[in-house]
């Protein structure tokens, strides 16, 4: 199709602000899906995502729309992931578009993630179409939010569309705005092929399916294709579009979006952000902006039952097929035995993976405290990447430790600004700016990522009664005075409970942690000292008192079998405990550190 | 192997299930009321005894338990004891359980005449509010009267049962019970921790057990108080004047064979444990036509026997002979337990220390793999 009749666009919206409903309406209005086949939220295909109301994997849907000018346009709606952990994926989806709908709930207003993604779109020179959704709600305040939205993108409040995706009101105006305001693509159809991979999924029957936007040139099925960053070569086994199911069409030209069945066996061979070109006539230069998705958060995953280790390995392998950003390597813990150290894009990503392992693969897991990756320079000048506290060299071998920092953008109602700033200060944040947006403040802090991976988001929500929203972006590594905090049970260090903390908060953390462990570890036959130590020096101690009585009251001839069975049952109950030296430790203890703030009553 | 001891089984238990009412904590096989069935039941018991008597040798101990055996009445008890008398070895211990309110001079005299040498009185407490929670029927003064009756009849041994960790029981309550029981001067005391057994009324009721700390305090208070009064803590829940230990119970804890007769009764005979089914009518129907009463059977294999010998033997204050009991599953645990002061080891024996005894379950879990 002539590029002047093509529009590539995406929808930027906060969770629950109505992105999926709007996408559904667009599919209905353009006849891409019949009302009868209408399934709520067609674009979110996984149950887990549906439950959490988020979208992990982007997809692209093509619809044909006959506009008020009588012309028929090809609209490619490119979906974007909706969470802070996936901002790189969002940026690639936006790079495939010339425009974006900026959808905001008319009763809630702008949220931090919307803001962050709007900035990404503005940086990428996308045409933003501001849309206020849910104007049918009684609490909607379209005038207030329209002004703020217009201010944000430097537009006239009159240009802000007011719609209800739920009732369908104004949705046609949205499509008209896409046609009239979003510019058509401007690629060179005669140049060598350059296609941006903005998403990829693994299908067990067809291998890796790539979602691409063709920037220049043309791609036909059967052609030999090369991924320029990974160097993978493959045949385009099938070329097509989602409308909204996979429909082979044989070729994609400059300006169009669609999918390619690659036959590749692993997502590692084809990364999001890569550029596809033809092996025979390769483009000289790849498209800009590629970077490898880098895991930011790490934790140990150990099977409760050591026999499940091979099953855990299989499950991780299977999940990796469809998730190139999940990394893992074997890890051995003295306390927990054999398991894996896993890396995730962020905390949500970690939660999703852990939940899928437990739910879909029926595994009983112990998760250790999440941590970030540290860059350690040793006294001999060596540079180490430390992903587990266990790997931290002893203090006298450390020249310096650097930790990843992020820039946190929070949107906070005026009344809670003090509470949020207090929280950020506690978490070693450096104040950057504060800007009023609507009736709220945009508060920006630079903070160690390590402080966020603990429970920052929960704390932020609880201290603002759920009103604050958060987005963050990595801004590089900074040197910090960090120390390893060890936990000793009955005098023995427990590697799986070690953590890396700031020197100034080590005492408070150590104290909180031993208090928490004291509550979590049941009484044993012996008194169990629970100690926190830094470099061999004990900084906090609690004691799990010895159990005084554990006896079967009476036992005569008629009771013997029953008593024996009681002991057998007790034994069964203990299987869920981990033996750490002579101490039986329940699974929850290994995550005790996450409840630190709750326990210390802050 | 079901024959057991070649010299014949020396310990007989007879279950007499009748009760005037069911106590809240009770999960035993009992029959409330059913006065009409008592003659038929006695006939059935005598028939079962006749059926099984081939396994018996000379009886060293006999125990009539319940239920409330005394509800059978003096006449029926005399008939039962009369049938057993020819099987007794010289000096045999013959115990009858009794609730205080069912014991009077006439019954005591009749039991003495029938050869009863020991009465075990289920007093449970002297505190009316605790007796109320336990649904006991005894009134103030009943227990004292029962003690006098047993003594007057010349029955040489008297044991009293008491309970601890009853909901609402304070250290003061326990001290009062302690003083009271010592004043009655029995030669044997069983002081049990109340179990909230699944299926018992008390477990379904509004009361919750005292917390672990208080229960441990009460347990220690009972042990120390009775020791101070000259009783030996010879088993986890049992105390005796020197020489007045219950020989019948000792047979259980020493993992001897025993024959159990009556509805719900359990026998351990060599490699087999069997339990007569509960259900009075079915029991009465099967016997005395000479049929076997409905039973379940459980094999006690070598591993089970070894674990039971440890489980039972370490309840006593006498050292467990490891060569007799069999090897521990986790010998290395013995070293740790000894270092931690929970057991003592000497000349191939293992003895739990005082602290170890209160943790007997946990100690057993370390030493043996109950699986």
SS3 of A366-379: the string is: EECCCECCEEEEEC
Residues B180 and B324 in one domain: no
Torsion of CA A364, A370, A375, A380, to 10 degrees: -60
**B190 near A CB under 8 A:** yes
> Do residues A99 and A181 touch, judged by C-beta distance below 8 A?
yes
Cβ contact, residue pair A548, B213, below 8 Å? yes
Q: Which of B224, B253, B282 is the last residue of a domain?
A: B253
B289: left (phi over 0), alpha (psi -120 to 50) or beta: alpha
Residues B131 and B72 in one domain: yes
Neighbours of A370 (CB within 10 A): 23
Cα–Cα distance for residue pair A144/B66, rounded to 1 Å: 82
pLDDT of residue A84: 59
Q: Write out residues 123-152 of B within 8 Å (CB-CB) of A.
A: none
**A284 near B CB under 8 A:** no
Asked whether residue B280 is assigned to any structural domain, the reply reads: no
pLDDT of residue B154: 97
pLDDT of residue A36: 53
Residue in chain B lying closest to A556 (CA): B252
Q: Distance (Å) from the C-alpha of residue B240 to the closest C-alpha of chain A?
A: 16
**A570 near B CB under 8 A:** yes
Residue B319 or residue A17, greater confidence: B319
Residues B231 and B345 in one domain: no
Most confident of A55-64, A292-301, B241-250: B241-250
Q: Which helix (H) or strand (E) holds A126?
A: none
Query: Which burial class, exposed, middle or buried, applies to A248 when counting CB atoms under 10 A from its CB (0-12, 13-18, 19+)?
Result: middle
Residues B240 and B349 in one domain: no
pLDDT at A289 over 90: no
- A289-323 in b/e form (b: 16+ CB < 10 A) is ebeebebbbbbbbbbbeeebbeebbebbebbbbbb
Residues B196 and B312 in one domain: no
Least CB–CB distance from A525: residue in B268, B273, B342: B342
Cα–Cα distance for residue pair B173/B192, rounded to 1 Å: 15
Cβ contact, residue pair B364, A567, below 8 Å? yes
List, in order, residues 6 or more apart from A201 with CB less than 8 Å away. A57, A208, A209, A211, A322
Residue A83 or residue A179, greater confidence: A179
pLDDT band at B136 (very low <50, low <70, confident <90, very high): confident
Give CA angle at A214 (A219, A246), nearest 5°. Answer: 75
Percentage with pLDDT > 70 across chain A: 93
Cβ contact, residue pair B266, A552, below 8 Å? no
Query: Which burial class, exposed, middle or buried, applies to A362 when counting CB atoms under 10 A from its CB (0-12, 13-18, 19+)?
Result: exposed
Residues B322 and B244 in one domain: no
Q: Which of B213, B230, B253 is the last residue of a domain?
A: B253
Q: Distance (Å) from the C-alpha of residue B266 to the closest C-alpha of chain A?
A: 5
Asked whether residue B148 is assigned to any structural domain, the reply reads: yes
| DSSP of A558-581 | GGHHHHHHHHHHHHHHHTTEEEET
Nearest to B143 by CA among B129, B123, B173: B123
Q: What CATH number has the domain bearing residue B162? A: 3.20.20.70
pLDDT at A322 over 90: no
Mean pLDDT, rounded, for B222-238: 97
Residues B344 and B195 in one domain: no
**Cα distance from N-terminal residue to C-terminal residue, chain A:** 61
pLDDT band at A595 (very low <50, low <70, confident <90, very high): low
**A549 near B CB under 8 A:** yes
pLDDT band at B189 (very low <50, low <70, confident <90, very high): very high
ipTM given for this complex: 0.89
A149 — phi, psi (to 5°)?
-65, -40
Cβ contact, residue pair A568, B357, below 8 Å? no
Cα–Cα distance for residue pair A591/A513, rounded to 1 Å: 10
Contacts of B193 in chain A (CB under 8 A): 551, 553-554
pLDDT of residue B96: 97
Cβ contact, residue pair B215, A549, below 8 Å? yes
B227 — phi, psi (to 5°)?
-60, -40
Q: Distance (Å) from the C-alpha of residue B138 to the closest C-alpha of chain A?
A: 22
CB pairs under 8 A between A and B: 104
pLDDT at A550 over 60: yes
| DSSP of A133-188 | E-TTSTT--HHHHHHHHHHHHT--GGGSEE-BTTTTBTHHHHHHHHHHHSPPP---
pLDDT of residue A50: 43
Q: Which of B253, B268, B293 is the last residue of a domain?
A: B253
pLDDT band at A39 (very low <50, low <70, confident <90, very high): low
Span B26-85, pLDDT tens digits: 877 788 888 889 999 999 999 999 999 999 999 999 999 988 999 999 999 999 999 999
Residue A321 or residue B54, greater confidence: B54
Cα–Cα distance for residue pair A55/A85, rounded to 1 Å: 12
Asked whether residue B47 is assigned to any structural domain, the reply reads: yes
pLDDT of residue A325: 83
Cβ contact, residue pair A567, B336, below 8 Å? no
pLDDT at A591 over 80: no
CA distances in angstroms from B31 to B11, B43, B186, listed in the order given: 25, 17, 29
Name the residue range of residue B211's domain.
9-253
pLDDT at B328 over 90: yes
Asked whether residue B320 is assigned to any structural domain, the reply reads: yes
Residues B33 and B181 in one domain: yes
pLDDT band at A594 (very low <50, low <70, confident <90, very high): low
Least CB–CB distance from B237: residue in A548, A554, A567: A554
Cβ contact, residue pair B311, A564, below 8 Å? yes
Cα–Cα distance for residue pair B106/B68, rounded to 1 Å: 17
Cβ contact, residue pair B340, A526, below 8 Å? yes
pLDDT of residue B25: 81
Cβ contact, residue pair B193, A563, below 8 Å? no
pLDDT at A227 over 90: yes
- Quote the number of domains for chain B: 2
Which of A473-477, B123-127, B137-141 comes out lowest in average pLDDT?
B137-141
pLDDT at A568 over 90: no
pLDDT band at B219 (very low <50, low <70, confident <90, very high): very high
Residue B270 or residue A203, greater confidence: B270
pLDDT at A99 over 90: yes
Asked whether residue B346 is assigned to any structural domain, the reply reads: yes
Contacts of B364 in chain A (CB under 8 A): 567
Q: Which residues lie across from A164 on neighbouring strands?
A: A169
Q: Where are the alpha helices (DSSP H) in A30-141?
A: 47-52, 87-95, 112-123
Scan for tokens 């009763």, then name that residue: A107
Span A413-453, pLDDT tens digits: 899 999 999 999 989 999 999 998 877 899 999 999 999 88
pLDDT of residue A464: 87
**Cα distance from N-terminal residue to C-terminal residue, chain B:** 23
Q: Which residues lie across from B18 on neighbouring strands?
A: B31
Q: Distance (Å) from the C-alpha of residue B192 to the closest C-alpha of chain A?
A: 6
Asked whether residue B287 is assigned to any structural domain, the reply reads: no
Asked whether residue B296 is assigned to any structural domain, the reply reads: no
Residues B71 and B199 in one domain: yes
pLDDT at B313 over 60: yes
Strands A469-479 and A398-413, by their bridges, are: antiparallel
Cβ contact, residue pair B216, A549, below 8 Å? yes
pLDDT of residue A34: 62
Nearest to A113 by CA among A410, A317, A336: A410
Residues B318 and B227 in one domain: no
Q: Where are the alpha helices (DSSP H) in B119-272?
A: 128-133, 142-152, 171-184, 201-204, 212-228, 247-253
Mean pLDDT, rounded, for A105-113: 85
A553 — phi, psi (to 5°)?
-50, -55
Residue in chain A lying closest to B339 (CA): A526
pLDDT of residue B370: 84
Q: What CATH number has the domain bearing residue B331? A: 1.10.10
**A575 near B CB under 8 A:** no
Q: Which helix (H) or strand (E) holds B331?
A: helix B331-339
pLDDT at A271 over 90: no
Contacts of B13 in chain A (CB under 8 A): 557-558
pLDDT band at A35 (very low <50, low <70, confident <90, very high): low
pLDDT of residue A575: 67
pLDDT of residue B203: 81
Residues B76 and B203 in one domain: yes
Q: Write out residues 18-37 of B within 8 Å (CB-CB) of A.
A: 28
Mean pLDDT, rounded, for A403-413: 92
| DSSP of B263-329 | TT-EEEETTEEEEEPS-HHHHHHHTTTTPPPPEEEEE--HHHHHHHHHHHHTTBSS-EEHHHH---S
pLDDT band at A206 (very low <50, low <70, confident <90, very high): confident
Cα–Cα distance for residue pair A208/A151, rounded to 1 Å: 42
Cβ contact, residue pair B307, A548, below 8 Å? no
Q: Write out residues 105-134 of A within 8 Å (CB-CB) of B.
A: none
Residues B93 and B182 in one domain: yes
Mean pLDDT, rounded, for A537-562: 90
Contacts of A525 in chain B (CB under 8 A): 340, 342, 359, 362-363, 366
Asked whether residue B277 is assigned to any structural domain, the reply reads: no
pLDDT band at A58 (very low <50, low <70, confident <90, very high): very low
Least CB–CB distance from B365: residue in A557, A561, A571: A571
């Amino acid at each position: 199709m002539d590029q002047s009749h093509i529009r590539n666009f995406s929808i930027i919206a906060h969770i629950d602000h109505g992105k999926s409903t709007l996408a559904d309406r667009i599919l209905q209005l353009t006849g891409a899906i019949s009302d009868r086949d209408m399934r709520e939220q067609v674009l979110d295909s996984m149950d887990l995502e549906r439950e959490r109301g988020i979208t992990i994997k982007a997809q692209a849907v093509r619809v044909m729309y006959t506009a008020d000018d009588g012309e028929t346009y090809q609209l490619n709606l490119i979906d974007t992931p909706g969470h802070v952990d996936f901002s790189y994926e969002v940026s690639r989806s936006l790079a495939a578009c010339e425009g974006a709908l900026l959808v905001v709930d008319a009763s809630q207003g702008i949220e931090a993630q919307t803001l962050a993604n709007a900035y990404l779109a503005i940086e990428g020179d996308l045409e933003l179409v501001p849309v206020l959704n849910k104007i049918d709600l009684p609490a909607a305040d379209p005038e207030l939010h329209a002004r703020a939205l217009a201010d944000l993108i430097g537009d006239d409040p009159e240009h802000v569309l007011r719609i209800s995706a739920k009732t369908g009101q104004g949705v046609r105006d949205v499509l008209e705005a896409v046609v009239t305001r979003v510019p058509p693509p401007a690629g060179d159809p005669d140049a060598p092929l350059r296609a941006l991979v903005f998403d990829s999924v693994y299908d067990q029957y067809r291998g890796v399916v790539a979602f691409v936007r063709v920037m220049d040139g043309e791609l036909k099925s059967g052609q030999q294709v090369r991924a320029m960053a990974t160097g993978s070569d493959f045949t385009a086994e099938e070329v097509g579009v989602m409308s909204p199911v996979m429909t082979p069409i044989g070729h994609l030209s400059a300006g169009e979006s669609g999918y390619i069945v690659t036959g590749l066996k692993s997502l590692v061979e084809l990364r999001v952000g890569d550029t596809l070109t033809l092996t025979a006539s390769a483009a000289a230069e790849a498209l800009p902006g590629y970077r490898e998705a880098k895991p930011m958060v790490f934790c140990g995953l150990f099977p409760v039952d050591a026999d499940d280790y091979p099953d855990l390995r299989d499950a991780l392998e299977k999940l990796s097929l469809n998730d190139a950003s999940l990394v893992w390597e074997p890890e051995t813990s003295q306390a927990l035995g054999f398991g894996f150290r896993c890396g995730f894009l962020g905390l949500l990503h970690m939660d999703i993976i852990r939940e899928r392992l437990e739910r879909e693969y029926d595994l009983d897991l112990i998760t250790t405290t999440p941590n970030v990756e540290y860059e350690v320079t040793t006294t001999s000048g060596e540079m180490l990447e430390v992903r587990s506290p266990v790997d931290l060299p002893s203090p006298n071998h450390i020249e310096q430790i650097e930790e990843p920092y992020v820039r946190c953008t929070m949107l906070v109602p005026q009344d809670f600004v003090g509470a949020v700033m207090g929280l950020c200060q506690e978490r070693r944040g450096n104040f950057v700016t504060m800007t009023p947006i609507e009736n709220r403040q945009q508060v920006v802090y630079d903070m160690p990522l390590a402080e966020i991976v603990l429970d920052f988001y929960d704390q932020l929500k609880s201290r603002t009664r759920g009103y604050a929203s958060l987005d963050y972006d990595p801004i590089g590594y900074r040197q910090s005075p960090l120390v390893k905090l060890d936990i000793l049970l009955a005098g023995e260090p427990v590697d799986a409970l070690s953590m890396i903390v700031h020197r100034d908060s080590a005492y408070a953390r150590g104290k909180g942690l031993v208090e928490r462990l004291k509550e979590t570890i049941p009484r044993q036959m012996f008194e169990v000292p629970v100690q926190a130590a830094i470099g061999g020096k004990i900084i906090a101690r609690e004691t799990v008192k010895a159990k005084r009585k554990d006896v079967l009251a009476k036992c005569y001839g008629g009771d013997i079998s029953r008593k024996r069975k009681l002991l057998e049952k007790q034994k069964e109950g203990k299987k869920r405990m981990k033996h750490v030296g002579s101490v039986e430790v329940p699974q929850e203890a290994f995550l005790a550190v996450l409840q630190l703030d709750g326990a210390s009553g802050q | 192997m079901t024959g057991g001891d070649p010299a014949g089984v020396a310990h007989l238990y007879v279950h007499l299930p009748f009760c005037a009412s069911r106590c809240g904590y009770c999960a035993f096989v009992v029959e409330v009321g059913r006065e009409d069935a008592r003659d038929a039941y006695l006939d059935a018991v005598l028939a079962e005894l006749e059926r099984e008597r081939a396994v018996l040798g000379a009886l060293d101990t006999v125990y009539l338990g319940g239920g409330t055996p005394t509800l059978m009445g003096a006449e029926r008890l005399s008939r039962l004891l009369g049938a057993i008398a020819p099987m007794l070895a010289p000096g045999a211990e013959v115990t009858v359980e009794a609730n205080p309110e069912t014991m009077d001079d006439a019954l005591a005299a009749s039991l003495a005449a029938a050869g009863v040498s020991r009465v075990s009185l289920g007093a449970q407490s002297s505190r009316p509010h605790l007796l109320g929670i336990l649904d006991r029927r005894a009134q103030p003064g009943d227990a004292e009267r029962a003690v006098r009756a047993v003594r007057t009849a010349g029955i040489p041994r008297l044991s009293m049962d008491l309970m601890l960790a009853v909901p609402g029981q304070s250290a003061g309550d326990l001290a009062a019970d302690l003083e009271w029981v010592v004043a009655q001067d029995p030669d044997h005391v069983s002081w049990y921790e109340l179990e909230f057994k699944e299926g018992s009324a008390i477990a379904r009721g509004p009361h919750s057990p005292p917390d672990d700390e208080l229960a441990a305090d009460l347990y220690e208070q009972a042990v120390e108080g009775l020791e101070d009064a000259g009783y030996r803590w010879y088993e986890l829940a049992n105390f005796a004047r020197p020489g007045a230990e219950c020989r019948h119970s000792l047979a259980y804890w020493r993992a001897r064979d025993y024959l159990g007769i009556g509805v719900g009764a359990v026998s351990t005979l060599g490699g087999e444990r069997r339990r007569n089914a509960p259900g009075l009518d079915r029991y009465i129907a099967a016997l005395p036509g000479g049929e076997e009463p409905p039973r379940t059977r459980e094999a006690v294999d070598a591993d089970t026997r070894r674990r039971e010998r440890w489980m039972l033997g370490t309840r006593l204050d006498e050292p467990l002979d490891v060569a007799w009991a069999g090897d521990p599953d986790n010998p290395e645990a013995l070293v740790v337990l000894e270092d931690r002061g929970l057991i003592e080891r000497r000349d191939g024996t293992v003895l739990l220390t005082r602290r170890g005894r209160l943790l007997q379950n946990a100690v057993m879990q370390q030493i043996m793999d109950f699986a």
